[in-house]
Chain A
Amino acid sequence: MSTLQPAATPESVSDEVIAPRTKVKKPKKSAAGDAAGALNSRWASFVAVVIAVLWTTPTVGLLVTSFRSQIDINKSGWWNAFANPGAFTLDNYRQALEPGSSASFTQYFINTIVITVPAVLLPIFLASLAAYAFAWMPFPGRNVLFVAVFALQIVPLQIALIPLLDIYTNKLGFGASYWSVWISHTIFALPLATFLIHNFMRELPGELMEAARVDGAGHVTIFFKILLPLLTPAIAAFGIFQFLWVWNDLLVSLIFLGGTPEVAPVTVRVAELAGTRGSAWYLLSAGAFISMIVPVIVFLALQRFFVRGLLAGGLKG
């Protein structure tokens, strides 16, 4: 999901506001609170609750459904399930987890992990290097290149499938393999990652770098000793996005790795469940939640980190 651009760091926002930065104790009301207050706070909370309910109900519906029997699901709406809580069952999960012809679900999970970890780390390596160059190292053509990298976000990855596969198979000689998937995911992530990390770097005070240079530190030292520690939140924020994207991906791995049980990720298995049984909600619902559970846990656990990553620019003194 290419849904992150860091210019939204509070830093760039507050830059527009001319104000001395003395931290005073926060007053009870914020600008937003004030705006909300205008709506009469009771109404405000009512509207907030309505939105929250609207946003959660669809998921809850399918979650409840995944614990109902095949017959119940087609006979009555999930909202009726609470009338008879005894009827809840784990059968759907049992069936969804049931080994396919030759592979257990565990194997698909392992495949997903093996695909995901390098596909998250590699773009971080490469993007932070490039971002550093774009942010703090003058070299010929820097600006043009940077704009080009950013602009490549517009390229839909589907157009790259055949040319890349051709290169992997005929030029590099590794055909459908984990390497193809890792490198492809990296390529598709680089524009965003570079852009994101670059913007965080730009917001770090230049004096920091200047001082280190005066002390005789080279770029390599600066990159490791000074920048990397400061970048952690930005890297974490991107890392979470990339993790979600790779974990949920179906198309890229199908093309570059194939769909055999030995290599295919969880998403392939869920798509299979969805496909063969028409509108078999009992299997679909369970399958959907099985595939969702890891990303949701990771996301919730790291959520704070993620928000801090977005706020990182604001932490500067």
Chain B
Amino acid sequence: MVATLLSAAPSGIPEPFLRAESTLGKFMLMFFAIAFFAAVFGLVLFLASLFKGRTGEKAQGAIFAAPAVLLLAVGLMYPAILTIIQSLRGKSGDGSFSFANYSAMFTQPELLTVLRNTALWVILVPFLATAIGLLYAILIDRARGEAFAKALIFLPMAISMVGASIIWKFVYQYKQTDRPQIGLLNQILKVFGFETRQFLLDAPVNTLMLIIVMVWIQAGFAMTILSAAIKAIPDDIIEAARLDGVYGLRMFRYITLPSIRAALVVVLTTIGIGTLKVFDIVRTMTAGQFETSVVANEFYNQSFRYDAPGLGAAMAVLLFVLVIPIVTYNIVQMRKEA
């Protein structure tokens, strides 16, 4: 392969600058890359500084933004357009123009299940994670050991989705009722005299079980931001409200909630976008079996396993479409604030 690469390399980049096998070589390559990127960065700044005057101003802005915009155009925009085209060209993605993939998506029962699951995820995860995060943020606000209490909820964020899935798969482990249990959840069922269950097998409960994992990861994020938002409510407002005799739940309803509204919106939408793209959890826990597949996972399967890239592309396009309202809302919100 190395040889092919070299011969195929139009620019003929010398091998040590591409790959390295020794530890030293790798680190050298890494430092070289950082220096290289820094040099590019410097070059952009230098180029920008050459432009002076009013028109120069404008050119400078464009040059500053250029590297990022260029990379995005090539790396995301171009593939996105390719995908849209593919989705309109039949199951294999290279046939003649048709809407067949889209009609398949909304008529085949198993793909409809995928859509139903995705809807469940997108509705449940943001709201549950935000609600739990908010409740916890309120409960521990200015309590003793707040930092530690926060870290406990926070920690799942540092764990990869695959790691989290392994953790929860263990919680859901199934053994027959009369045998010693190794999964915590079934042990609890057993202690209370219920039959043990196969949580990952029975639809639609299994989708809820996967959703719990995502909520577990995201609640910490919601909690962090909402806690910061709560702390930022000016004290005088609270004082004033209190002088007016507002306390307790009314304080929450009329002062806290309105004050953190913007933060709530951001938390909900961010988690929503993340949830639409969820892939690792489903793949690790059920591999999309037992009616648990979601759009992102089905896209991967159709494109790379079932040799139906056109259908996969239609799935991806559906993802964009689903996220558009969220993004638009966010942008409108941003405009208002600006």
Contact = CB atoms under 8 A, between A and B. Distances in A.
Given A7-B334, A110-B23, A139-B59, A27 B8 contact: no
A190 B149 CA distance: 32
B168 A58 contact: yes
Contacts, number: 435
A31 B252 CA distance: 7
Given A130-B68, A156-B319, A55 B75 contact: no
Contacts of A83: none
Interface stretch (B40-48, B101-109, B110-118, B201-209): B40-48
Interface string B15-31: 00011110100110110
Nearest to B333: A7
Contact of A307 (B68, B136, B224, B261): B224
Contact of B303 (A32, A79, A158, A187): A158
A16 B265 CA distance: 14
B156 A244 contact: no
B19 A114 contact: no
Name, among A76, A117, A129, A311, the residue most crowded by chain B CB atoms within 10 Å (CB to CB): A129
B34 A58 contact: no
Interface in B229-286: 229-239, 241-242, 247-249, 251-252, 255-256, 258-263, 266-267, 269-271, 273-274, 276-277, 279-280
A13 B15 CA distance: 52
Interface string A37-60: 111000011011001100111110
Interface in B122-159: 132, 135-143, 149, 151-159
B74 A167 contact: yes
B contacts with A: majority SS: helix
A299 B155 contact: yes
B326 to A, nearest CB: 8
A272 to B, nearest CB: 12
A311 B36 CA distance: 33
Contact of B38 (A32, A125, A288): A125
A65 B170 contact: yes
A79 B168 CA distance: 15
Contacts of A13: 229, 232-233, 259-260, 262-263
B323 to A, nearest CB: 4
A203 to B, nearest CB: 10
A114 B30 contact: yes
A31 to B, nearest CB: 4
A118 B34 contact: yes
B64 A159 contact: no
B37 A35 contact: no
Contacts of B183: 77
Contacts of B59: 139
Given A51-B132, A129-B68, A160-B75, A267 B158 contact: no
Nearest to B263: A8
A114 B262 CA distance: 39
Contact of A267 (B27, B82, B160, B296): B160
B119 interface: no
A291 interface: yes
B218 interface: yes
Contact of A154 (B29, B38, B255, B273): B273
B83 interface: yes
Name, among B59, B79, B137, B327, the residue most crowded by chain A CB atoms within 10 Å (CB to CB): B79
Contacts of A75: 180
Nearest to A154: B323
A133 B61 CA distance: 5
A17 to B, nearest CB: 6
A298 B140 CA distance: 24
A58 B163 CA distance: 11
Interface of B: 1, 4-5, 8-13, 18-21, 23, 26-27, 29-30, 33-34, 37-38, 41, 44-45, 48-49, 57-62, 64-65, 67-69, 71-72, 74-80, 82-83, 132, 135-143, 149, 151-163, 166-168, 170-171, 180-184, 187, 216, 218-219, 221, 224-225, 228-239, 241-242, 247-249, 251-252, 255-256, 258-263, 266-267, 269-271, 273-274, 276-277, 279-280, 296, 299-300, 303, 313, 316, 319-320, 323-324, 327, 330-331, 333-334, 337-338
